[in-house]
Amino acid sequence: MFGWELPPFFAGGVGIVCSELLKELARRDDISVTYVMPFGPKQIKNQNFKLIIADNLKMKDKIKTKYIPSLLGAYISKDEYLEKLEGLVRDKDGNVGMLKDNTLQLYGKNLLQEVYRFSEKAKLIAKDEDFDVIHAHDWTTFPAAEEASKISGKPFIIHVHITEFDKSGGRGASPDIYAIEKQGMESSDKIIAVSEVVKKGLVKNYGINPNKIEVVYNAKVNSSDIIEGAFPKFADNSKVVLFAGRVTMQKGPEYFIEAAEKVLRFYENVIFIMAGTGDQLKDMIRKTSELGLSDNFLFHGFYTRSDANKFFKLADVFVMPSVSEPFGLVPLEAMEKGTPAIISKQSGCSEILRNTLKVDFWDTDKMANQIVALLNHKSLKKVMSEKGQTEVNSLTWDEPVRRCVDLYKKVIRDRE
Amino acid sequence: MVSVCIYFQVHQPYRIKEYSIFEIGKDIDCFEDSSDSNTNNAKILKKVSNKCYLPANEVLLELLNNHPEFKISFSFSGVFLEQLEQYEPEVLESFQKLIDTTQVEILAETYHHSLSFIYSKEEFKEQVKLHKEIVQRLFGIVPAVFRNTELIYNNEIAKEVESMGYKGILAEGADHILGWKSPNFLYRPANTSNIKLLLKNYKLSDDIAFRFSENTWKEWPLTASKYADWITKVNGNGNVVNLFMDYETFGEHQWEATGIFNFLHHLPSEILKHPDNDFKTPSEIINSYSTIGTCDVEKYISWADENRDLSAWLGNDMQHEAINKIYSLRDKILSSNNSDLIHKWRKLQTSDHYYYMSTKQFSDGEVHKYFSPYASPYDAFISFMNVLHDLELELSKDEIIEEVTTIT
């Protein structure tokens, strides 16, 4: 399996999903996994993996980890890659990639080169390892999976958590990345999409045959309950409404602010927390001050697991107004902690979640109406909280993993 | 002798449209929805009329004409009759034609198909009176037998209804109250002296209402002659087979393609083939047979779900908040003497509004069992509470205007 950095050092949902899949796969007697992940100079190798296997001794024997030195990260953009590269120590001649311990690690000059360099390394691993099927997560690993498949003759499945289209909203999608995604989708044996909305996007934007795509929904995130440090203090009786996620166009933070302005017409004592960073954060801070909402807004910036847990505890309602959301794990986390969730109808998780309120991301009247109702009526909050918690707790990983294993068997059979 | 007693429930609520907090105080009619959504009451009534009421009435009229010994009864909610007058007068006429055959009895119920008995006996009596008036006005009949909303029943209701002058009452033949008793006899409700209790034979009723089109059922396909044999077998073990069901069974719950109309068409002649079978209306049953014992029902029962209790309407905190709120407004609303407000308030008492807020089937993913025009029970609750808020606002405006008039 070509995956990503695992919790707690993760950059987003795909790392979480990889770790949940690994844990569940390790529980099965018929599967063992070689997990290949990129490994940058600033990462801490040993700790990293120990953490996820600490509670599962069996996993140690079943999961073998292979690291490829690389600067790749899940969701990385071209610019972010260059930033990362620039951030490394330069040598006398201005060449990048020279590490302090003088081990020469040459990384790709840009993101695409790095992706191909990664795939060359993957080929070497595939030569040495014994396996039956390849499972790769998101575009940066697709060329690696294809190379590994070519050299081994084994089938490969790609797992699509997000596409370049989703990230860019279709505008300014990088043609190179698009081409790599499309190539991976076409040459793979089977495609796993995390929701129907992703599947539709693959058919529409990438011209993929729908019969090749299976939808396997994600399940409950087993995140820690850790809470460190003090809670933020608000005036007595104030209500709290939460946005948590990257502050980028894709996540719809501006709709959250528009809804907040409307909520405040009906309900004065409300604090809106916007947790997360992103390229729209400055604009959002400006927008709230233009609307005269600064007193009611708390911008938190980057947040830790412990911060998130605090926010879920404080919040009367969690809102995910995403414009595009292939799946969306955060509502599941909120619901698991007993916080009622309002989610956009455009999100993949809205296809399976029942005990939430759903709204079109642009319909901020309705969003405000739903928020006010949750602030006004204890009964609504209580029932949604209880039913939501029960629902999420029933979404375990055995079902998605069973579906993946069925697909492994199917592609192996089909190649024979 | 076995008498078959058929009662069809005919009801449509005034659904409220999606009602946002931004609409409060803007004098918007919450029952009037011209959109394509399923809260458009006129649209739903037209659809059900075409699929069920009109074709079923046609079959029944022919049967009543061809078989003078064929008898049936209806219970129409007042809010249903009001909607027929408002949107579908032709359908009302087709029901009137059935009543004109004199082979059809009409039962008493609350005009607003409400849970009022549980919250206010005064309100309950008022709604039964309003229902009596509309039935008398539209059909020229005064009902003599009572059935409560969703067959909600207990000793207390029977006693109250007896004191209101009714000679009979209908209830669910729920296993947990019957025990070894058979629903195929008449009973005397505990602590009453005259009123008789008719109990639904839920097995035979549900064979038509729920199982008719279920092709995994071992009796599928169900023919009228097979069904008539089951009825005939009751001879020697009972006086009466009470078949109580929603009228919408015909064409709406069981689609025409399932053969349900054909089944109905052949049912009377098949049942009447056996000389020991006949048809009677509830009043005729009460006049013909004596009770064989008392029936003691302390806790409320109903005909809903497996549980046969009140949990479909009063199963979670949202439902309790909504219904407590509505009944808490009674004194204020009535003393406003504003008939529009009072009527609106009563339409909001219809049991369906609370049913839509039920999380029983919805939350465990049995979406196909959640019959509702709303996206979720939570959305149903939000619109309802906004409408209620609006009503309170109108009420307070009304009070202010009244004060002003008193001063001048």
Task: Based on the fold, state whether residues A27 and A148 are members of the same structural domain.
Answer: yes
Give the residue from chain B lying closest to A388, CA to CA. B363
Mean local confidence (pLDDT), B155-169: 98
Cα B222 to Cα B204: distance, rounded to the nearest angstrom: 12
Asked if the structure places residue A224 within a domain, the reply is: no
The predicted-structure confidence for A264-273, as pLDDT tens digits, reads as follows 999 989 999 9
The 10 Å Cβ neighbour count of residue A183 is 14
Cα B8 to Cα B86: distance, rounded to the nearest angstrom: 22
Task: Based on the fold, state whether residues A361 and A409 are members of the same structural domain.
Answer: no
Residue in B20, B362, B363 nearest the CB of A369: B20
Task: Based on the fold, state whether residues A131 and A32 are members of the same structural domain.
Answer: yes
* A387 with B359: Cβ contact below 8 A: yes
Enumerate chain B positions whose Cβ falls within 8 A of a Cβ in A: 20-22, 316-318, 320-321, 359, 362-363, 365, 367, 375-379, 381-382, 385-386
Give percent of chain B above pLDDT 90: 90
Tell me, what's the pLDDT at A60?
Answer: 59
**Above 60 in pLDDT, residue A47?**
no
**Above 90 in pLDDT, residue B117?**
yes
Residues from chain B that touch A383, judged by Cβ atoms under 8 A, are 316-318, 359, 377-378
Residue A206 carries which side chain, given as an amino acid letter? Y
- Which of A54-63, A84-93, A97-106, B339-348 ranks highest by mean pLDDT? B339-348
* A366 with B20: Cβ contact below 8 A: yes
Tell me, what's the pLDDT at A224?
Answer: 77
Tell me, what's the pLDDT at B402?
Answer: 64
- Using pLDDT thresholds of 50, 70 and 90, give the confidence band for residue B408: low
Identify the weakest region by mean pLDDT among A130-139, B261-270, B362-371: B362-371
Tell me, what's the pLDDT at B369?
Answer: 59
Catalytic residues of B: 150
User: Which range marks the domain in which residue A243 is found?
Assistant: 239-393
* A387 with B381: Cβ contact below 8 A: no
* B382 with A373: Cβ contact below 8 A: yes
Residue with tokens 């039962």: B107
**Above 70 in pLDDT, residue A99?**
no
Identify the weakest region by mean pLDDT among A92-101, A226-235, B6-15: A92-101
More confident residue, B159 or A223: B159
Task: Based on the fold, state whether residues A323 and A185 are members of the same structural domain.
Answer: no
Whole-angstrom CA distances from A365 to A169, A225, A343 are: 23, 34, 14
* A354 with B363: Cβ contact below 8 A: yes
Task: Based on the fold, state whether residues A281 and A338 are members of the same structural domain.
Answer: yes
- Using pLDDT thresholds of 50, 70 and 90, give the confidence band for residue A72: confident
Residue in A369, A382, A391 nearest the CB of B317: A382
Residue in A384, A390, A391 nearest the CB of B378: A384
Rg (CA), chain A: 22
Identify the weakest region by mean pLDDT among A52-61, B134-143, B325-334: A52-61
- Using pLDDT thresholds of 50, 70 and 90, give the confidence band for residue A202: very high
Give the residue from chain B lying closest to A382, CA to CA. B317
* B379 with A368: Cβ contact below 8 A: no
Identify the weakest region by mean pLDDT among A54-68, A70-84, B4-18, B305-319: A54-68
The predicted-structure confidence for A121-152, as pLDDT tens digits, reads as follows 888 888 888 999 999 999 989 999 999 999 99
Residue in A354, A372, A377 nearest the CB of B321: A377
Task: Based on the fold, state whether residues A384 and A400 are members of the same structural domain.
Answer: no
Identify the weakest region by mean pLDDT among A77-86, B48-57, B201-210, B286-295: A77-86
Task: Based on the fold, state whether residues A201 and A301 are members of the same structural domain.
Answer: no
Instruction: Output DSSP code: residue A230.
Output: P
Residues from chain B that touch A391, judged by Cβ atoms under 8 A, are 363
Interface probe for A, chosen from B382, B383, B388, B392 (most Cβ of A below 10 Å), is B382
Give the residue from chain A lying closest to B317, CA to CA. A379
Residue A198 carries which side chain, given as an amino acid letter? V
Q: Closest Cα to residue B310, out of B299, B326, B318?
A: B299
Asked if the structure places residue A231 within a domain, the reply is: no
Please report which residue ranges of A188-304 form alpha helices under DSSP H.
196-206, 253-263, 281-290
Asked if the structure places residue A204 within a domain, the reply is: yes
**Above 70 in pLDDT, residue B248?**
yes
> pTM for the whole thing?
0.92
Interface of A with B in 122-151 (CB under 8 A): none
Tell me, what's the pLDDT at A9?
Answer: 57
Tell me, what's the pLDDT at A169?
Answer: 67
Q: What is the 3-state secondary structure (H, E, C) of chain B?
A: CEEEEEEEEECCCCCCCCCCHHHCCCCCCCCCCCCCCCCCHHHHHHHHHHHHHHHHHHHHHHHHHHCCCCCEEEEECHHHHHHHHHHCHHHHHHHHHHHHCCCEEECECCCCCECHHHHCHHHHHHHHHHHHHHHHHHHCCCCCEECCHHHCECHHHHHHHHHCCCCEEEEECCHHHHCCCCCCCEEEECCCCCCEEEEECHHHHHHHHCCCCCCCCCCCCCCHHHHHHHHHCCCCCCCEEEEEEEHHHECCCECHHHCHHHHHHHHHHHHHCCCCEEECCHHHHHHHCCEEEEECCCCCECCCCCCCCCCCCCCCHHHHHHHHHHHHCHHHHHHHCCHHHHHHHHHCCEHHHHHCCCCCCCCCCCHHHCCCCCCCHHHHHHHHHHHHHHHHHHHHHHHHHHHHHHHC
- Using pLDDT thresholds of 50, 70 and 90, give the confidence band for residue A342: very high
* B382 with A380: Cβ contact below 8 A: yes
Asked if the structure places residue A289 within a domain, the reply is: yes
Mean local confidence (pLDDT), A70-86: 77
ipTM: 0.93
Mean local confidence (pLDDT), A281-307: 94
Shortest distance between the Cα of A325 and any Cα of chain B, in A, equals: 20
More confident residue, B341 or B401: B341
- Using pLDDT thresholds of 50, 70 and 90, give the confidence band for residue A174: confident
Interface of A with B in 349-388 (CB under 8 A): 354-355, 357-358, 365-366, 368-370, 372-373, 376-380, 382-384, 387
More confident residue, A27 or B365: A27
Residue B34 carries which side chain, given as an amino acid letter? S
What CATH number corresponds to the domain at position A122? 3.40.50.2000
Q: Does A74 lie at the interface with B, CB-CB under 8 angstroms?
A: no
Local structure of A273: helix, strand or coil? strand
Task: Based on the fold, state whether residues A207 and A280 are members of the same structural domain.
Answer: no
The 10 Å Cβ neighbour count of residue A304 is 12
Shortest distance between the Cα of A263 and any Cα of chain B, in A, equals: 10
Task: Based on the fold, state whether residues A255 and A199 are members of the same structural domain.
Answer: no
Cα A272 to Cα B54: distance, rounded to the nearest angstrom: 55
Asked if the structure places residue A296 within a domain, the reply is: yes
Cα B114 to Cα B150: distance, rounded to the nearest angstrom: 9
Tell me, what's the pLDDT at A63?
Answer: 72
Interface probe for B, chosen from A379, A387, A399 (most Cβ of B below 10 Å), is A379
Give the residue from chain B lying closest to A366, CA to CA. B20
Interface probe for A, chosen from B24, B311, B363, B387 (most Cβ of A below 10 Å), is B363
**Above 60 in pLDDT, residue A53?**
no
**Above 90 in pLDDT, residue B169?**
yes
Q: Which residues contact A28 (CB under 8 A, 6 or more apart)?
A: A401, A405
What are the residue ranges spanned by the domains of chain B?
Answer: 2-295, 317-407
Asked if the structure places residue A329 within a domain, the reply is: yes
Asked if the structure places residue A7 within a domain, the reply is: no
The 10 Å Cβ neighbour count of residue B201 is 23
Residues from chain A that touch B320, judged by Cβ atoms under 8 A, are 379
Task: Based on the fold, state whether residues A155 and A292 are members of the same structural domain.
Answer: no
- Using pLDDT thresholds of 50, 70 and 90, give the confidence band for residue A214: very high
* B21 with A368: Cβ contact below 8 A: yes
Residues from chain B that touch A372, judged by Cβ atoms under 8 A, are 21
Give percent of chain A above pLDDT 70: 87
Tell me, what's the pLDDT at A101?
Answer: 45
- Cα angle A277, A278, A280; round to 5: 115
Residue in A370, A379, A387 nearest the CB of B321: A379
**Above 60 in pLDDT, residue A58?**
no
The dihedral region occupied by A7, where left means phi > 0, alpha psi between -120 and 50, and beta the remainder, is beta
Residue in B20, B21, B378 nearest the CB of A380: B378
How many domains does chain A contain in total? 2
Cα B308 to Cα B300: distance, rounded to the nearest angstrom: 9
* A369 with B362: Cβ contact below 8 A: no
Asked if the structure places residue A229 within a domain, the reply is: no
Is residue B309 within 8 Å of residue B302, measured between CB atoms?
Answer: yes
Task: Based on the fold, state whether residues A34 and A83 are members of the same structural domain.
Answer: yes
Cα A329 to Cα A14: distance, rounded to the nearest angstrom: 10
Strand-pairing partners, residue A301, are A275, A276
- Using pLDDT thresholds of 50, 70 and 90, give the confidence band for residue B365: low
Task: Based on the fold, state whether residues A400 and A389 are members of the same structural domain.
Answer: no
Residues from chain B that touch A355, judged by Cβ atoms under 8 A, are 359, 363, 376, 378
Q: Closest Cα to residue B378, out of A364, A388, A393, A351?
A: A388
The predicted-structure confidence for B218-236, as pLDDT tens digits, reads as follows 999 999 999 999 999 999 8
Beta strand pairing status for B145-146 and B240-246?
Answer: unpaired
Mean pLDDT across chain B = 94
Mean local confidence (pLDDT), A382-395: 96
Residues from chain A that touch B377, judged by Cβ atoms under 8 A, are 383
* Tokens of residue A337, six digits: 């902690």
* B363 with A391: Cβ contact below 8 A: yes
Tell me, what's the pLDDT at A96?
Answer: 53
Q: Could you please state the CATH topology (level 3) that the domain comprising B2-295 is classified under.
A: 7-stranded beta/alpha barrel (3.20.110)
**Above 50 in pLDDT, residue A104?**
no
Identify the weakest region by mean pLDDT among A67-81, A140-154, A229-243, B348-362: A67-81
